Amino acid sequence: MPDTFSAAALADQLDTQFHAALARRFFSLSPAAGLLAASDWALHLAVSPGKCMALARLALRQSEELAGYARERMTAGADPQLRHGVQPPAQDRRFAAPEWQQWPFNYMHQSFLLTQQWWAAATHGVKGVEKHHENVVAFAARQLLDVFSPGNQLATNPVVLQRTLQQGGANLLRGALNAADDLQRLAAGKPPAGTEDFVVGRDVAVTPGKVVLRNRLVELIQYTPTTEAVHPEPILIVPAWIMKYYILDLSPHNSLIRYLVDQGHTVFCLSWKNPGYEDRDLGMDDYLKLGFHAALDAVNAIVPKRKVHATGYCLGGTLLAIAAAAMARDGDARLASLSLFAAQTDFSEPGELGLFIDESQVNLLEAQMTQTGYLKASQMAGAFQMLRSYDLLWSRLVNEYLLGERTPMNDLMAWNADATRMPARMHAQYLRRLFLDDDLSRGRYPAGGKPVALSDLTLPTFMVGTLTDHVAPWRSVHKLHYLTTAEITFALTSGGHNAGIVNPPGHPRRHHQILTRPAGGSYMAPDDWLAAAPDVPGSWWPAWVQWLQARSGAPVAPPHVGARGYKAIADAPGSYVLEK
């Protein structure tokens, strides 16, 4: 019997090592997952003669349209009023410059858009193909086509060619120098150019405060009040551990934490440790115990006999929802309200991020993390970059390497480059129990050894979704409406996962929709909500502050910094946020 166990363990170890090697070879993407998706699509397309005939007819019609377009454009010259054969998608800015209306570049971009259109038809609507496989194949086709976009090539981009002629090739020289600098920084493990202008604690994360708690996983920062009186209920912010907390405390003009402090709130914020190999066995329960619950105990000691406005962002919001449901289950009434920003509680429709999460992909990541002890920041960054390949990759390559123009660094971009790692055990649990199995929304996720149910939540809840979120799509965030009958105020703001949250008042183009579903109210589907919610110009921050103040007591004297057992041990932003 021992020999049997030994042989099984050896076989498992061999498989793990081989899968980890595959992960390194294929940039942490499962080749098996890609092959399964491609074969599922190809086999079902091969036995769908009707679909094949429809695609053939589409190709013939497009060829005729393109030929007719070419004849018209050649005879019309540079007439900008002549129709386009295909209009690019509303979000496609690649061919907006007037130079693209000149022959032969107009023909090139029209041909490219028609090719995109054909592949979109070919990869969708093939009967029998599993939905996840369909999405993967369609995504892969878009990524491959983008490689050959005429806008991404020197010889076929009229804007680049015109700039090269005007500057005698100086733009290409600058681009080569930019590329050399980037490669040198990459080889040395240095951050992108310009990040040196945004030093944590000097330029960003500068709201005054003190670290009042430090354990092996978190530091807790208590911020210094700026008003003579504060609302008695403190705010505890739980940011995502996939990012540095100071996304919520960037420059003074766009710091949500500074804004809250200036509005008369006592604010506490968690700063997660950047884990290393020694933290490999930290799991979701540790993030609850050492993170949220340790912080809540500290806040209760510093501001005694007061309920807490608990606030979570992204994965921090998911963790907070788990913690709040467990507290409701156990009769723990220390929370006054719940605020969740771009945070999912139902993962049945996670959006495009789900393209990278299936059994094969998770198994490959688990094997790789078994050896490293954590998920590297670059692995997550690569996935997000592919989701927004034009904005984060191709437009940058064209601007910086072909046009020779460095994109000016800003605080949000510098923060985005300051990425974090995730412990192997926690990330595997997160991917399996939340993404793959959707245990939280189905009442199977355990906290404290017992499952939690989101239906137990009765706290008034403020939620924020962002219109162009690729990480936590707003319709997925909205799903909490049918998981609980609690009062929910939902705000849908312009912007994406980060820029929609970093949304200070005064921005001329920002707007949001907001609507409250009363406790016990009927469920309203996302599209119905979208039609019913009034549109409000400006930031959602003032609406949230008004919501908090309506659920807070009359202002009182600010609490002391720290308390017995929670003395101030360092100035904000602390030391964990500085770990690379």
Catalytic residues: 314
Please give the backbone phi and psi of residue 272, each rounded to the nearest 5 degrees, phi first.
-80, 145
Question: What is the 8-class DSSP label of residue 495?
Answer: S
β-strands 218-223, 535-537 pairing: unpaired
Residue 151's SS3 state is: helix
In one letter, which amino acid is 531? A
CB atoms within 10 A of CB 35: 11
Place of tokens 């409000």: 536
Can you say whether the dihedral through the CA atoms of 372, 319, 316, 91 is positive or negative?
positive
Residue 335's SS3 state is: strand
Cβ burial of 228 (10 Å; 0-12, 13-18, 19+) is exposed
> Buried b vs exposed e over 303-312: b needs ≥16 C-beta within 10 Å?
beebbbbbbb
Do the Cβ atoms of 220 and 298 come closer than 8 Å?
yes
**333-336 contacts at long range (C-beta below 8 A, 24 or more positions apart):** 333/307, 334/296, 334/300, 334/307, 334/308, 335/307, 335/308, 335/309, 335/310, 335/459, 336/233, 336/307, 336/308, 336/309, 336/459, 336/551, 336/552
Q: Which residues contact 79 (CB under 8 A, 6 or more apart)?
A: none
